Structure 1
Amino acid sequence: MGNQEQDTDASTARDRLRLLMTEFTTPARTDTSPRRTTPTPQAPVDLGVLDYTMKAAREIAALTYAAVPDADPPPADAAGVYQWAYEQTAQSGIEHRIARDTTVHRQALEHAIEMGDEDVLGREPCPGCACWSLFWQADLGKAICVNRNCVDLLGRPTTWTLRQLASRYVAAKYAARRNAT
């Protein structure tokens, strides 16, 4: 994959994670009752979002160390872990780079969904029918294709995990690069 594509993939994930960290860590105020005389103590940040962002950064760091055991330490800024991972694994084998790119793309999709931007799946073609007909199904934790002709063996709409979508996306990028040379 070329540097421009890497920069785009890494910056998309980085920007979405940074947005989560800056805009979505403020806890939602649940009690707006003016009658309460003593304030209910709350954490200064939304701990669920903070845990989510740290888990994402740890996953990228672990994947990087699996490819390059003597890699430099990751940056303190969780959002900076993506650029760090690309820099540290630039000379890794193709399998490690594909795994890295797949994880980064999957996380970029996850970050968007975590922020409530489920429309991001509309920019992913359905692996089953190649239509732009994917929608997020939160209760399943999967993307669902709404094309009536794209069904599984039981006649139900096809569903795809974010990992499957990311894997297809990265495989197509690597195939295009391989075929271009």
Structure 2
Amino acid sequence: MGNTDNGDAADRLRTLEGRIWRFPTGSVNKLPRSGGPTHPEAPLDLDIIDHITASVREAQDHVSANRTENAGPMPANVADVYDWWRASTPSLDAERTLAREAVIYRQGLEHAIQAGDTKVVRKHPCPECGCWGLFWRRPEKRAVCANRDCRDEDGLARMWELKHLAHEHVTRQKMLKATAT
């Protein structure tokens, strides 16, 4: 399947990694007198660290389960994890290669959303109606179709997990490549 989305996922991970450090916005000496915090917040964004750790762990788990050749140890730079993953699993069958690429693409979407770019879901058509009206709904952690006619059996707007959008995207890219040659 090529590295069509590797740059996006790796670039997004690199961007997210750059947001780990938080710089204090106020002075510790100017805390409110009533029940406020007694110490400044952590200088690291722990949510981003947890997200990156989970993403890398998922890649490691997939490599451990599907390794066909030895590509060496995990890279020191976490943004290189996707190249390492592909190098560690070059001989996968078509179905497993598609699954790997879908996970990489999904992680790229997750990295962007974690960094605050929820517009990445707008670049995907709704899997049900095909319209380009998806938007991110943070509480549900799902993309929602804005088309009023695209409703589920309960009459609610259709929602999609990122893994579904990623699978649709990677499958569509594979079909486009197959018909282009």
2:30 paired residue number: 35
2:35 paired residue number: none
Q: What letter corresponds to residue 24 of structure 2 in structure 1?
A: R
Identity of aligned residues (%): 36
Q: Secondary structure at the match of 2:30?
A: coil
Structure 1 CA distance for aligned equivalents of residues 117 and 62 of structure 2: 26
- Identify unmatched segments of 5+ residues in structure 1: none
The equivalences for 1:27-176 within 5 A come to 27=22, 29=24, 31-32=26-27, 34-35=29-30, 40=39, 42-68=41-67, 70-71=69-70, 72-176=72-176
The TM-score normalised by the length of structure 2 is 0.86
Structure 1 CA distance for aligned equivalents of residues 28 and 41 of structure 2: 15
Q: CA deviation at 1:140?
A: 0.8
Instruction: Write out per-residue CA displacement over residues 67-110 of structure 1, whole angstroms, 9 at most, x where no aligned residue.
Output: 11653222011111011112222222112211110100100110
How many residue pairs end up in the alignment? Answer: 174
Q: What letter corresponds to residue 62 of structure 1 in structure 2?
A: D
- Cα RMSD of the aligned pairs, angstroms, is 2.1
Contact 1:67–1:89 at 8 Å: present in 2 too? Answer: yes
Q: CA deviation at 1:139?
A: 0.8
- Identify unmatched segments of 5+ residues in structure 2: 32-37
Q: CA deviation at 1:112?
A: 0.6
Q: Does 1:13 align with 2:9?
A: yes
Q: CA deviation at 1:44?
A: 3.9
Instruction: Write out per-residue CA displacement over residues 41-86 of structure 1, whole angstroms, 9 at most, x where no aligned residue.
Output: 5544222211211211111121122111653222011111011112
2:34 paired residue number: none
Q: What letter corresponds to residue 80 of structure 1 in structure 2?
A: D
The TM-score normalised by the length of structure 1 is 0.86
Contact 2:68–2:92 at 8 Å: present in 1 too? Answer: no
Structure 1 CA distance for aligned equivalents of residues 30 and 130 of structure 2: 56
Instruction: Write out per-residue CA displacement over residues 21-50 of structure 1, whole angstroms, 9 at most, x where no aligned residue.
Output: 11x1122536546535xx835544222211
Q: What letter corresponds to residue 76 of structure 1 in structure 2?
A: A
